[in-house]
Amino acid sequence: MTEPSLNFVLCPDAAGGHRMAYWQWGNPEAGHVLVCVHGLTRQGRDFDVLAQALCERAGGTLRVVCPDVAGRGKSDWLKDPQGYQIPNYAADMLALLAQLQPTTLDWLGTSMGGLIGIVVAGLAQAPAFAQVRRLGLNDVGPVIEWQALQRIGQYLGNVGAFDSEQQAADALWEIASSFGPHTPAQWLALSRPLLKPLGDGSGRLTLHYDPALAEPFKAVTPESAAQGEALLWQSYDQIKAKTLLIRGAESDLLSRQTAQAMMARGPKARLVEFAGVGHAPTFIADNQVQAVASFFLDE
C-alpha cells in the first residue's frame, strides 16, 4: 500500500490556536479536491482503501484529503473540551480549505463528518474555495436517533488499555460490529491507526483520541438535540451541492424516515443503501467503493 503525506493547518481558537492534521493522497497539485471526514472517535486513515481506489481511478486529476478532526489522531487536543462541537469543527475545515485552495471541491463525511459537511455545504455565502460541488453523507442526517446517541455515550471517552493491536481490534469490534462484514485483516488494518502507546512504559496501547470528547457529548439533552436538529435542517435546506445519501440498511442512527425527508427537501439527496450494514459503511467493500467512485468521478 502506498502511504499518504501528513500535513498540518493552524486553526484559530480562543486559546491561541491548534494544529489540525490531514492526510493527503493523489496529486498534490490537483485542483479537484475530495475532503473525507471521519466519525466521532475515528481519524482520517479510515479512508485509506477508498482514497487509493479513487486516486487510481482518477488518473492524477484528484487530490483526496482526510483530516484528523481536532482531538483525534495526529491533531492537537483542545485546551477547552467545550470546543469539541460541530460549529468549531466546521470553522477548522474552512481554515483547511483556505490552505488547500481547491478549484473543485467535493465532500464525503461519515456520521460526524457528514454533519460538518452539512454545515459547510449549507453556508449561505461561502468563499469560492469552500463551495461544495458534490456532497456525500454517510449514514447521517439532521435527525440523529436518540437511542443511537445513548449507545455512543456508553463507550465515548473510555479509551482503554490494550496488550496488543489484536486485543484492541477485538475490543473495537465489540462496539463497531454494525460497520458490517470485514475480514480479520481488514478490521485490523482499520483499527491500527486508532491506537497509540499508552505512555507508561508498559508497551500497552490506548485509543488515539481525547477522552474529553465525552464532556460536551454527555451534556446533550433531548431538548438541546432538538434545537441542533432545527439548525441542521436549516443548513441542509440551503445546500446547493448534488447530494448522495449513503445508509446502512440496519442503521440505528439514520432512520429510514429521516432519509426519506432528505430525499424530499433541500438538495433532494439520492439514496443508496447497503444491506447487512448498520452504522456506518466503511468504504472497504467493493460495492461501497464503486458507489462513491461513480458519484464523485463518473456522473
For residue 183, being part of any structural domain is answered with: no
pLDDT digits (tens, 9 = 90+) for 27-66: 999 999 999 999 999 999 999 999 999 999 999 999 999 9
Is 182 among the domain residues?
no
For position 2, what pLDDT does the model report? 82
What's the domain range around 100? 5-146+223-298
User: Is residue 43 in some structural domain?
Assistant: yes
Q: What is the pLDDT of residues 116-127, one digit of tens each?
A: 999 999 999 999
Q: How confident is the model at residue 1 (pLDDT cuts 50, 70, 90)?
A: low
Are 127 and 93 in contact by the 8 Å Cβ rule? The answer is: no
Residue at grid coordinates 480549505: 97
Specify the pLDDT at position 268: 98
| C-alpha–C-alpha distance, residues 186 and 158, integer Å | 23
Asked, for residue 174, whether it belongs to a domain, the answer is: no
Residue 298 has pLDDT above 90, yes or no: no
| Domain membership flag for residue 154 | no
Cβ-based neighbours of 290, under 8 Å, separated by 6 or more: none
Of all residues in the chain, the percent with pLDDT exceeding 70 is 99
CB proximity list for 129: less than 8 A, separation 6 or greater? 97, 98, 100, 101, 102, 105
Residue 249 has what pLDDT?
A: 98
Structural contact between residues 255 and 143, judged by C-beta atoms closer than 8 angstroms: yes
Give Dmax over CA atoms of the chain in angstroms: 55
| Cα dihedral 115/117/119/120 (nearest 10) | 160
> How many domains does one find in the chain?
1
The answer to whether residue 113 is domain-embedded is: yes
pLDDT value at 299 more than 70: no
Per-residue pLDDT tens over the stretch 183-211: 999 999 999 999 999 989 999 999 999 99
C-alpha–C-alpha distance, residues 280 and 61, integer Å: 28
Mean pLDDT of all residues belonging to the chain = 96
* Amino acid 294: pLDDT: 97
Q: What is the pLDDT of residues 245-289, one digit of tens each?
A: 999 999 999 999 999 999 999 999 999 999 999 999 999 999 999
3-state class (DSSP) for residue 254 = coil
Q: Is residue 31 in a domain? A: yes
Give domain status of residue 164, yes or no. no
| pLDDT value at 153 more than 80 | yes
Q: What CA–CA distance (Å, rounded) separates 71 from 50? A: 23
**What CA–CA distance (Å, rounded) separates 62 from 293?**
12
Read off the pLDDT of each residue in 139-156 and give the average, rounded to a whole number: 93
Torsion angle of C-alpha atoms 21, 23, 27, 29, degrees rounded to 10: -10
pLDDT attached to residue 230: 96
Q: Give the Cα separation of 157 and 65 in Å (integer).
A: 26
CATH of the domain at 285: 3.40.50.1820
User: Can you read off the three cell numbers belonging to residue 145?
Assistant: 436517533
